Amino acid sequence: MNRVRFAPSPTGFLHIGGARTYVFNWLYARSTGGQVLLRIDDTDAGRNTEESLRSILDGLRWLDLPWDEQHFQSKRRSSHVQAARALLASGAAYRDFTPEGEGQTERAAGEPWLFNPGMRELGTAESDRRADSGEPFVARFRVPRDRPGGATFKDLVYRKQFRRFSDIEDFALLRSNGDPTYHLASTVDDGELGITHVIRGQDHLTNTFKHILLLEALGFDRPAFGHLPLLLGPDGSKLSKRRHGALVSVTNYRDMGFLPRGFVNYLSLLGWSPKNNQELLEVPQLVEAFRIQQVLRTNAVVQFGDKPGSAQCDPKAVWLTGQHLRRMPIGQLMPYCEHVLRDAGWWLDELAGRRRPWFIEAVDSLRSRLNLLSELTTRCRAYFRDDYGFEAKARNNLEKSGVREMLHVLADRLDASKEFTEKSVEQEIRSLAAERGVKAGLLINGSRAALTGQTVGPSAFRVFTIIGKARCVKRLSAV
């Protein structure tokens, strides 16, 4: 069975790039009947933060693509150290006692890339003696120097990869304080956790040469590797908080009112597109269509607003959320709407009880014009609250000659009428317009303006029934 892992380091918030890597891993696993592991790469204790871990977990949970297992790399430390010991014992690794800051940091021109060459040749007895005496050392992998050729693998996305052994440095496995490095911890975990496919950002491509050497030395089966193209901002630079602002952080999209399924759909299209180029896809359709071999090798661009730090999201992300919002089963949409109202402090328990049918109908009538959930409390304020404002155009509609007075009469008639349906409202409006010799549109536009402060929204008579008789009478009489 295929097993993939997403391995974020809790040293920063969950980034769009990380989330895209997660989505691709998840889609690959689900499309092949495999399992997804979340592995928190928390070996760098000095840089980990609780806040970052929370941002990663919150962001991933929000995406609503559940993982099957969760691991913390720090809890697996003894396995990493044991592996390093075994490699030292077999000679696949060696101790480098060069004091920190003194060694070679760059490759000498034309030479194979060794760190501190003398150390590689140190005899076992001397190496053991110095280690036993407590002299600190870095454990380094002994990259083959006696055979020509290099490390090679067939990447699922970037195809054949090759690197000469002489271009691979004797990389560290244990730091001088005894801590395992990323290369060691990641490789041991991939091996011991039975990872079959390592799918990660293209920035890790060169690490993979080291990882395959290490996997081989440790006797693990080699997983398949697939590297994903980088995400760039519209200016061609790598995504960064400094340049692109809060929009690189996943939880911000949640807070801005994106729908997880819309956002997942958006992320899935960053570096991949289905064969028929259909872009609007539900998660099961994504699972069905996803093929890792179709991942593109060109970097994907996230179309933020042009200016650095601009708060403008990629319009495609907004569009996709709007499309999903309109199409998804209303029952699945309601919990998100409830959240938005709760966050705004507008929630009333009766919206889950007596007024539930009203709440559902209101959302269903409003959603065809929404792109983001948050618009429920901005553009749709008048449907939930009495303290709404008037747009300039709506005000103009109220200023038209005779409109206010006619709306007052309409209020009285609606109040007096027993019926209050879209049809009955329409009749009242049309007969009043006929009596006064004005176009019905004048009253329709006027009442929409009075009831919502806006000039657009659900169909004019539906607006009345969503807002309800009592509130309509009050609002029409108050203009």
Minimum CB distance to ligand GLU smaller for 7 or for 286: 7
The pattern of x and - marking residues 9 through 28 that bind ligand GLU according to CB under 6 A reads x-------------------
Question: Nearest approach, Cβ of 64 to ligand GLU (angstroms)?
Answer: 22
Q: Cα–Cα distances in Å, from 50 out to 61, 207, 250, 419, 449?
A: 16, 27, 17, 58, 49
Question: Nearest approach, Cβ of 221 to ligand GLU (angstroms)?
Answer: 17
Counting Cα atoms < 13 Å in the Cβ hemisphere of 421 gives 3
With CB under 6 A as the contact rule, which of the stretches 2-10, 79-87, 270-278, 467-475 interacts with ligand GLU?
Answer: 2-10
> From the list 2, 4, 7, 195, which residue makes contact with ligand GLU (rule: CB under 6 A)?
7
Stretch 181-240 residues interacting with ligand GLU (CB under 6 A): 186, 200, 204
Alpha-carbon span 410 to 450, nearest angstrom: 12
Minimum CB distance to ligand GLU smaller for 11 or for 417: 11
With CB under 6 A as the contact rule, which of the stretches 7-15, 360-368, 397-405, 455-463 interacts with ligand GLU?
Answer: 7-15
Q: Is the dihedral of CA 415, 417, 422, 426 positive or negative?
A: negative
Tell me the residue length of the chain. Answer: 479
Minimum CB distance to ligand GLU smaller for 41 or for 170: 41
With CB under 6 A as the contact rule, which of the stretches 3-11, 158-166, 220-228, 320-328 interacts with ligand GLU?
Answer: 3-11
Minimum CB distance to ligand GLU smaller for 37 or for 289: 37
Cβ atoms of 233 and 16 within 8 Å: the answer is no
With contacts defined by CB under 6 A, how many residues of the chain interact with ligand GLU? 7
Counting Cα atoms < 13 Å in the Cβ hemisphere of 229 gives 20
Q: Catalytic site residue 238?
A: no
Partners of 139 in beta bridges: 95, 174
User: Would you count residue 41 as binding ligand GLU (CB under 6 A)?
Assistant: yes
Q: Cα–Cα distances in Å, from 289 out to 64, 236, 260, 440?
A: 19, 29, 19, 50
Question: Nearest approach, Cβ of 311 to ligand GLU (angstroms)?
Answer: 27
Minimum CB distance to ligand GLU smaller for 203 or for 412: 203
Question: Nearest approach, Cβ of 204 to ligand GLU (angstroms)?
Answer: 6
Partners of 300 in beta bridges: 231
- The helices-and-strands tally (H runs, E runs) of the chain is 21, 12
Q: Are strands 224-228 and 159-164 parallel, antiparallel or unpaired?
A: unpaired
Question: Nearest approach, Cβ of 40 to ligand GLU (angstroms)?
Answer: 9
Minimum CB distance to ligand GLU smaller for 204 or for 400: 204
Question: Nearest approach, Cβ of 7 to ligand GLU (angstroms)?
Answer: 4
Minimum CB distance to ligand GLU smaller for 270 or for 370: 270
Alpha-carbon span 199 to 226, nearest angstrom: 5
Alpha-carbon span 290 to 275, nearest angstrom: 9
Pick from 430, 398, 408: nearest CA to 478: 408
Counting Cα atoms < 13 Å in the Cβ hemisphere of 122 gives 25
Question: Nearest approach, Cβ of 229 to ligand GLU (angstroms)?
Answer: 15
The one catalytic residue among 75, 154, 160, 241? 241
The DSSP string of 113-170 is --SSHHHHT--HHHHHHHHHTT---EEEE----SSSSEEEEEETTTEEEEEEGGGS--
Which distant-in-sequence residues (6+ apart) come within 8 Å of 187 by Cβ?
A: 211, 214, 215, 218, 220
Question: Nearest approach, Cβ of 193 to ligand GLU (angstroms)?
Answer: 12
Minimum CB distance to ligand GLU smaller for 5 or for 140: 5
Place of tokens 């792109």: 371
Stretch 330-349 residues interacting with ligand GLU (CB under 6 A): none
Cβ atoms of 174 and 139 within 8 Å: the answer is yes
With CB under 6 A as the contact rule, which of the stretches 6-14, 29-37, 345-353, 384-392 interacts with ligand GLU?
Answer: 6-14
Catalogue the active-site residues: 241
Where along the sequence are the contacts to ligand GLU (CB under 6 A)? 7-9, 41, 186, 200, 204
